[in-house]
Structure 1
Amino acid sequence: MNYVSEDELNRLEKEERRFYHLTSLLWKKFANDKFKPYQKIENSVYKEMRNIEKRLHSSLVNELKNRDLETNLVKNQNGLNNILIVDYKNIFLNEEKILKDIFNALQNAFKIEEQFDFKKLYLEQNYTKINVIILECGKILNSVMYSFPLYRVLEGNNNNKLSFLDLMMPVYLEDSLIKKLNLEKWTTSIPDLNYTEKIMFKLSECYNYISHVIQFKYLEELIQNKEDTVGLNITQEYINSATDLINKRVQLCIDYCSYLLNSLDFSENNIKENAELQEIFNGIEVIYTNLLPTEMDNQTEDYNIKLNFEEMENWYNDFFHVLDGIYHIYKHLASYKIKTNTMDR
């Protein structure tokens, strides 16, 4: 049984012979010149590497420019290296599309024509991964840095969507790194965005707490069956503490939505002039629909959640829509505030 096609074996053999041929030629020249031009050969290699770097940078800039993305590649600045800063001229709503555009640009710019090309050697020495920071309208809106592993960029991806293999887990951008890169955040200049970002983090925490309570409820049942009084008390204390934190974060979200409804002008005429306001209102509706496991009591300002286990599991699934809703608000609120701030100047 043949596990590799004959054509593939022939191609690999051809590449291998070519590699040995080039190596032999280099060694022959080196030996014939009595090993003297070592420095010349070394300098020639360094020169070629520098040329490759220039061509790569130019190619990458052009690839991104063709996708309406301005870029700056940070190299050896303030102890930082190989960070690609991409500026998108609008507030983007489809994050995957932007990342896919960047990924495709990297693929085209880093494409290897021959297996033993110096270009591949240069990339492997300098780009084990490509870090990307995306600016929106010139500043950071989402404080994260994405990373594409080099091997995935070189392998290529023919799918329309990014695979989880194409993109490493985003990391949070610390203020110290932002300062080193001389970048700015929209949350610094627009207080409402700073407030919204904090609510986003609080709701993400709340989502995790709900998951913890569900897990601990299962543990509580096991402990009860084994009559472990100490373990049961510790578990119950954590569940009570987590439930209290969930209540506080839910209340923060209710207060935040009320703040938006009172501070923004949702009149019919204003919505016609500013489509972002309708999207913000839609996001608030999504949150109110999924924020609570039971109907909200309109007669009270504070709402304490009392759950049974079955409600908790269903609510966990619904709460994911709350995270979508707050992110939807954040992006459209940013678009609205940036536009109105620019008009006020």
Structure 2
Amino acid sequence: MKSIKTKSAIVHFNDSVYSELNAYIKANNPSKIFVLVDTNTHDACLPKFLSKVDSGEVVIEVMEMPEGEDHKTIDICTGVWEAMSEYNADRKSLMINLGGGVVTDLGGFVASTYMRGIDYINVPTSLLAMVDASVGGKTGVDLGNLKNQIGVISEGSMVLIDTSFLETLPHNHMISGYAEMLKHGLIYDKSYWNMLVNFENLEASALDNMIYDSVVIKNNIVTEDPTEKGLRKVLNFGHTLGHAIESYFLGNGDKIPLLHGEAIAIGMLLEAYISTKTIGLSTEEFKEIEKGILKTFSKIEINENDQKAIIDLLKYDKKNSHGKINFVLLEAIGKPKIDCEANNDLIIEAFEYYNK
């Protein structure tokens, strides 16, 4: 697969990944290499990765963090910063983030802020991270249960996508990443959406071309608007309500936490419904979206008390401005509209539709 040039990095795929990484190390001669993993990727991915890396005389230090969204915190960052300092990391050190979206988000933030910024490379190992979290330079951590409230936009030097790592993923994590791919179709390319919803084999070996297409779509959007002043906001379709749902289920001990893609799938369905009531998404296309999402994602019970709490969390959404909650909605599949508003009554109506 041909490598993809982003604004300040290059995304390499499969066969070229390790030769490009080794060439980068040789050319840049970092003082030390730090590899950040979580408890899952330490066992499932790190041995293969290290076996492929030729660091020459450069020392590699492995740092391990707990897995899961609830550990994407500033406290974990502090632990990583302190470990790097103890191992004498300097401004010529290189950080490699080997993991899913939690590792690439947190590791990118750590690298972007340590000594005001060191080089880093993302090696995404989950489908979600390959198609979304590792590309575009968004880094950061959660503030309590609020998603990605602290962070910077700072792109790494390279992204290395080795899709063989997907063979280590549980099926529900594959489905979680698939939600972001569906989003790319809904906001950008109806033919891509049609291909995805008619795809029957969510196996690692069959996904290479679609992963590539998703990276191209995201890169096209981010290249035009790297700091999210306008067009890049379309990538947040499904995320206004989806992030609030994810935060609520993560912070409520009575609920089973949802994976990111599971929450975003609900958010996309709700926001598509709102689109039919506000900006003219056709009933036909809405039903198509509903069928496409529910084909893969099971419905989750969201009762009246849940709805009120989720709506209350919307005030923390990063797209908000001047006290207004801003949504990305759909005029049609492939035709998003940013900075839309919806009142609470309509949001509750969307939840009621979803529950029925």
Indicate whether the TM-score tops 0.5.
no
Would you tell me which structure has more strand in proportion to its own residues? 2
TM-score class normalised by the smaller sequence: 0.3 to 0.5
For normalisation by structure 1, the TM-score amounts to 0.33
Would you tell me which structure has more helix in proportion to its own residues? 1
For normalisation by structure 2, the TM-score amounts to 0.32
Bigger relative contact order (CA 8 A; separation at least 6): 2
Give the greater-gyration-radius structure (CA): 1
